[in-house]
């Protein structure tokens, strides 16, 4: 466990990383983040965790797709017409998915399981914060690998390889409003296991495995949404369990899931 | 909007409130929290948001129930026997619920919609951090009212009435691991609406309503889980939209929900 905390009370600080330019295909995101942190007076230190929004990772990896290049299938065309959506976008959603979880043309809802295993609307494809109206942004092909690469890029310039969470904003079952989830993890265990540990009364806790990577992503959203062009948050003071890291432990196996 | 931020970069700090005693029925929780914050050198200031874990709210409101007082129905007895659970606990879960969302005796899973409208396992009833083995803890009857009361109690001693989130730890569809959710809200809008606002490229954003109360709860979990006996987190530097506050906007109407 790493804990930079020295006060008598626990505390965690989330700091937005500002000053990053528009990210382009091929950019060394790790280096840019480390330098931006340095430039704003909050250089990365041992124990920091970085949460990087999916959009800039996708941009650095060339995951922008012009809709002009997409020929929709008949299935995509028919759904899109009934749902009043762009058939080229629907085609891309289908291509990025391994299964359809819910599809309702009346409401225009298309919730799928992406090839990575994330259950979300429109396979995580979106159009916000992209300069061109006919261009959309796909999720990274392998966000865990993206997270590992960013950590290595930071190691090369800053001498430390912080845990990296790549975050995206999804809806949920049962509740309104979106929150951020971890879609890529490197350098830390995404789950924190309290099973078998004592509670404050010395009783063995029944549950509880906490999805700490998702909670870190949710925390970061509050920072990255506070201002425009703050696509990265640094979380300082949060102990974590070092690990190769992966989102796989966060994804419930289909056979164990009662909600698809 | 309230924003205590003065740096060139955005930042948010989450501080655990320590030194609270075991909470008893009738305790003035707001006063105790304000005094504990003062005592540890982090007195509450204007703009702070407090996240209070459900367990201490329930304890202050006398929501502990001895299982000895519960006579299970035949339905509860039969499910409990097949699922290898305590029939008295199952009886309480059913009493606290307005509908059953998933019930699987082989896996011992009982996911219901509570009378408040929360979809969660076992109606949010649990046994951790309770001194007596045969006693369980129910959710507060009206957690929004609890949040308002705590804010008023703080107003009486500290002169400010911070937004209050009451949090509890639930599982999710599709993903492993629990996270904290808001089950009670006072003093702030639980949703942050980005619909109709410009993104960084001046384009109108399609989505997105963020469940900021849930993200605050998730952030607080990382603090309250860092140490034993830290049942409250203070979030400093997070702008919020003042509002009477309620969890109702966070709960998807049954007719709009594709996952129950």
Query: How far, in Å, CA of B256 to CA of B104, rounded?
Result: 24
Q: Looking at residue B204, what is its pLDDT? A: 52
Reported confidence tier of residue A23, pLDDT bands at 50, 70, 90: very high
Whether residues A41 and A105 fall in one domain:
no
What is the tens place of the pLDDT at every residue in A143-202? 999 999 999 999 999 999 999 999 999 999 999 999 999 999 999 999 998 766 666 665
Answer yes or no: is A7 within a domain: no
Answer yes or no: is A77 within a domain: yes
The pTM is what? Answer: 0.93
Whether residues B203 and A177 touch (CB distance < 8 A) is answered with: no
Higher pLDDT residue, A131 or B13? B13
What is the 3-class SS of chain B, one letter each residue? CCCCCCCCCCEEEEEEECCCCCCCCCCCHHHHHHHHHHHCCCCCCCCCEEEEEHHHHHHHCCCEEEHHHCCCCHHHHHHHHHHCCCHHHHHHHHHCEEEEEEEECCCCEEEEEECCCCEEEHHHCECCCCCCCCEEECCCCCHHHHHHHHHHHHHHHHCCCCCEEEEEEECCCCECCEEEEEEEEECECCCEECCCCECCCCCECCCCEECHHHHHHHHHHHHHCCCCCCCEEEEECCCCCECCCCCHHHECCHHHCCCC
Last residue of a domain, one of B110, B135, B160: B135
Reported confidence tier of residue A1, pLDDT bands at 50, 70, 90: very low
Whether residues B104 and B83 fall in one domain:
yes
Q: Which residues contact B247 (CB under 8 A, 6 or more apart)?
A: B116, B117, B143, B144, B182, B183, B184, B185, B190, B213
Q: Say if residues B137 and B55 touch (Cβ distance below 8 Å).
A: yes
Answer yes or no: is A59 within a domain: yes
Mean pLDDT for chain A?
92
Q: Looking at residue A6, what is its pLDDT? A: 54
Last residue of a domain, one of A135, A154, A179: A135
Answer yes or no: is B212 within a domain: yes
Whether residues A119 and B173 touch (CB distance < 8 A) is answered with: yes
Q: Is B250 on the interface with A (CB under 8 A)?
A: yes
Whether residues A104 and B258 touch (CB distance < 8 A) is answered with: yes
Q: Say if residues B176 and A192 touch (Cβ distance below 8 Å).
A: no
Whether residues A203 and A162 fall in one domain:
yes
Reported confidence tier of residue A48, pLDDT bands at 50, 70, 90: very high
Answer yes or no: is B171 within a domain: yes
ipTM reported for the complex surpasses 0.90: yes
* Overall number of domains in chain A: 2
Residue A81 domain boundaries: 65-135
Whether residues A84 and A197 fall in one domain:
no
Q: Is B12 on the interface with A (CB under 8 A)?
A: yes
Q: Looking at residue B195, what is its pLDDT? A: 67
Whether residues A58 and A169 fall in one domain:
yes
Whether residues B178 and A12 touch (CB distance < 8 A) is answered with: no
Exposed / middle / buried, residue A69 (Cβ in 10 Å: 0-12, 13-18, 19+): exposed
Q: What is the CATH classification number for the domain harbouring A170?
A: 3.30.1330.100
Report chain B residues whose CB lies below 8 A from the CB of A40: 8-9
Whether residues A88 and A205 fall in one domain:
no
Answer yes or no: is B57 within a domain: yes
Last residue of a domain, one of A114, A135, A156: A135
What percentage of chain A carries pLDDT values higher than 70?
92
Q: Looking at residue B39, what is its pLDDT? A: 97
Least Cα separation, residue B259 to chain A (angstroms): 6
Whether residues B50 and B150 fall in one domain:
yes
Nearest partner of B95 among B72, B111, B77, judged by Cα: B72
What percentage of chain B carries pLDDT values higher than 70?
92
What is the tens place of the pLDDT at every residue in B158-204? 999 999 999 999 999 999 999 999 999 999 999 998 766 666 666 55
Q: Looking at residue A32, what is its pLDDT? A: 98
Least Cα separation, residue A33 to chain B (angstroms): 14
Q: What is the CATH classification number for the domain harbouring A72?
A: 3.90.1660.10
Whether residues A187 and A229 fall in one domain:
yes
Whether residues A190 and A233 fall in one domain:
yes
What is the tens place of the pLDDT at every residue in B80-134? 999 999 999 999 999 999 999 999 988 888 999 999 999 999 999 988 777 777 9
Whether residues A122 and A157 fall in one domain:
no
């Amino acid at each position: 466990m790493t804990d930079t905390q020295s006060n008598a009370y626990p505390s965690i600080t989330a700091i937005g990383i500002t000053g990053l330019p528009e990210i382009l295909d091929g950019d060394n995101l790790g280096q840019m983040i480390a330098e931006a942190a340095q430039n704003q007076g909050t250089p990365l230190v041992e124990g920091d965790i970085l949460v990087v929004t999916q959009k800039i990772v996708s941009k650095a990896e060339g995951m922008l797709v012009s809709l002009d290049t997409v020929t929709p299938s008949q299935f995509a065309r028919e759904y899109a017409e009934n749902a009043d959506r762009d058939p080229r976008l629907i085609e891309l959603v289908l291509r990025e998915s391994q299964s359809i979880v819910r599809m309702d043309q009346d409401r225009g809802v298309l919730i799928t399981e992406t090839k990575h295993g994330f259950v979300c609307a429109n396979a995580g494809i979106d159009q916000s914060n992209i300069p061109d109206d006919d261009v959309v942004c796909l999720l990274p092909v392998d966000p865990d690998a993206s997270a590992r690469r960013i950590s290595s890029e930071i190691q090369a310039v800053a001498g430390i390889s912080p845990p990296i969470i790549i975050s995206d904003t999804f809806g949920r079952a049962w509740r309104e409003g979106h929150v951020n989830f971890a879609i890529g993890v490197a350098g830390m265990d995404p789950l924190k296991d309290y099973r078998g540990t004592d509670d404050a009364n010395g009783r063995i806790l029944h549950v509880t495995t906490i999805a700490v990577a998702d909670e870190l992503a949710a925390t970061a959203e509050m920072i990255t949404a506070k201002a425009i062009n703050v696509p990265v948050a640094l979380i300082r003071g949060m102990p974590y369990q070092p690990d190769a890291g992966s989102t796989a432990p966060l994804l419930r196996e289909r056979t164990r899931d009662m909600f698809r």
